[in-house]
């Protein structure tokens, strides 16, 4: 009989308050999963016709998911504050509580209306004294937990508490999260890469050279044929990498040269890098480990390259 998430947490080294927080987030993901499953029937498809702080158009499901997680965050009683992709400023919660939650309530927004896998990403930091954004500006190394839910053919929760990575499937029969995999291990070597190829003409030389070598296949310098996958939901692409290896890139490019990349450090890159590292892979921005970046703003963007160790080592060498 598979272990429930609750039992898994009780047997881990997680303090009681952290377990409470994880159960609250997992509960919110169940509720979002139910909205996703009903789609048009729950009136959650289409645009909300508003923009978020990133200047991106919000979908109805971005807004609904944000509300669901914020409600759970407030109710759980162990959060000093929460920060979301969809909120300009952090939301102060219970003064003196031990944790901060950072989240991307709905990742892969362009896939909502076309019934392709989407997800929720979250990161947990220890609370720090101070007000506003300041306590949140901690490097990814400080994360005490990170994870995501992927709303795909199955609803799966993937979690790390800093001692390996485990996966739980939501059983629609019992409405329980049951452990179905773990500890996950990202194979060191791969033949699969993931990047939005339509941006090729905008890439920097090291990325261009890396992908060229993958494309050259058996007769090229890598001496093997590569496959390419791009789902355009980071959760789904990273889930594939945690399951069978691969490398995911959303690098800086020349479209908007003043931006370090598209993805956000605090609630996309940091939690995903911790998961990948905990499974034996790596995550860099090109020059340094993503988890070592000292953030300077809440919604800061970052170039992301993560996955199988051999590929990340190679990308790092090309950037050196
Ligand atoms: P979000 O929906 O939270 O804004 O994130 C979307 C991100 C990420 O999930 C994905 O890897 C990437 O954007 C897709 O970008 P392209 O549309 O450029 O492929
Ligand atoms: Mn996202
Ligand atoms: Mn999002």
User: How confident is the model over 95-124, as pLDDT tens digits?
Assistant: 999 999 999 999 999 999 999 999 999 999
Q: What is the pLDDT of residues 59-87, one digit of tens each?
A: 999 999 999 999 999 999 999 999 999 99
Nearest to 15 by CA among 97, 71, 88, 91: 97
Q: What is the CATH number of domain 192-319?
A: 3.40.190.80
> Could you name the CATH architecture of 5-181?
2-Layer Sandwich (3.30)
Would you list the domain boundaries of the chain? 5-181, 192-319
Tell whether the model's pLDDT for residue 203 goes beyond 80: yes
Please name which ligand lies nearest the alpha carbon of 87: 3
The DSSP letter of residue 203 is B
pLDDT value of residue 53 = 86
| Mean pLDDT of the 267-289 span | 98
| Mean pLDDT of the 46-71 span | 95
Nearest to 172 by CA among 60, 9, 36: 36
| Minimum CA distance residue for ligand 1 atom 18 | 196
Band (279; pLDDT cuts 50, 70, 90) = very high
pLDDT value of residue 145 = 98
The DSSP letter of residue 12 is S
Cis ω for the linkage preceding 183 (within 30 of 0)? yes
pLDDT value of residue 245 = 98
CA dist., res. 4 & res. 112, Å (int): 29
| Minimum CA distance residue for ligand 1 atom 19 | 232
The mean of the pLDDT values for the chain is 97
Instruction: Tell me how far the alpha carbon of residue 48 lies from the centroid of ligand 3, in angstroms.
Output: 13
CA dist., res. 272 & res. 176, Å (int): 24
| Mean pLDDT of the 126-153 span | 98
| Mean pLDDT of the 129-154 span | 98
pLDDT value of residue 54 = 86
Band (1; pLDDT cuts 50, 70, 90) = confident
Pocket test for ligand 1, best of 59, 86, 106, 108 (most atoms within 8 A of CB): 108
Please name which ligand lies nearest the alpha carbon of 62: 3
What residue ranges line ligand 1, CB within 6 angstroms? 56, 85, 104, 107-110, 196, 232-234, 250, 262
């Amino acid at each position: 009989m598979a272990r429930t998430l609750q039992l898994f947490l009780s047997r881990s080294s997680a303090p009681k308050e952290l377990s409470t927080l994880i159960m609250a987030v997992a509960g919110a993901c169940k509720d979002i999963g139910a909205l996703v499953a009903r789609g048009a029937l729950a009136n959650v498809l289409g645009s909300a016709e508003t923009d978020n702080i990133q200047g991106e158009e919000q979908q109805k499901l971005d807004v609904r998911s944000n509300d669901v997680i914020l409600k759970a965050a407030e109710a759980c009683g162990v959060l000093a504050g929460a920060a979301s992709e969809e909120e300009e400023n952090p939301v102060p919660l219970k003064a003196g509580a031990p944790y901060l939650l950072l989240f991307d309530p709905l990742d892969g927004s362009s896939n909502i209306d076309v019934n392709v896998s989407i997800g929720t990403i979250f990161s947990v930091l220890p609370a720090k004294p101070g007000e506003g954004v300041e306590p949140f500006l901690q490097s990814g190394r400080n994360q005490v937990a990170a994870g995501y839910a992927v709303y795909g053919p199955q609803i799966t929760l993937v979690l790390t508490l800093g001692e390996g990575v485990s996966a739980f499937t939501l059983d629609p029969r019992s409405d329980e999260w049951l452990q179905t995999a773990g500890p996950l291990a990202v194979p060191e070597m791969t033949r699969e890469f993931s990047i939005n190829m339509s941006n090729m003409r905008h890439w920097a030389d090291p990325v261009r050279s890396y992908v060229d070598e993958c494309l050259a296949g058996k007769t090229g310098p890598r001496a093997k044929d590569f496959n390419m996958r791009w789902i355009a939901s980071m959760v789904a692409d990273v889930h594939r990498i945690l399951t069978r290896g691969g490398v995911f890139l959303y690098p800086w490019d020349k479209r908007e040269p003043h931006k370090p990349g598209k993805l956000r450090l605090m609630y996309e890159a940091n939690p995903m890098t911790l998961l990948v590292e905990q499974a034996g892979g790596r995550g860099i921005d090109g020059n340094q480990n993503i988890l070592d970046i000292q953030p300077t703003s809440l919604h800061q963007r970052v170039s992301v390259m993560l996955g199988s160790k051999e590929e990340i080592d190679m990308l790092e060498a090309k950037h050196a």
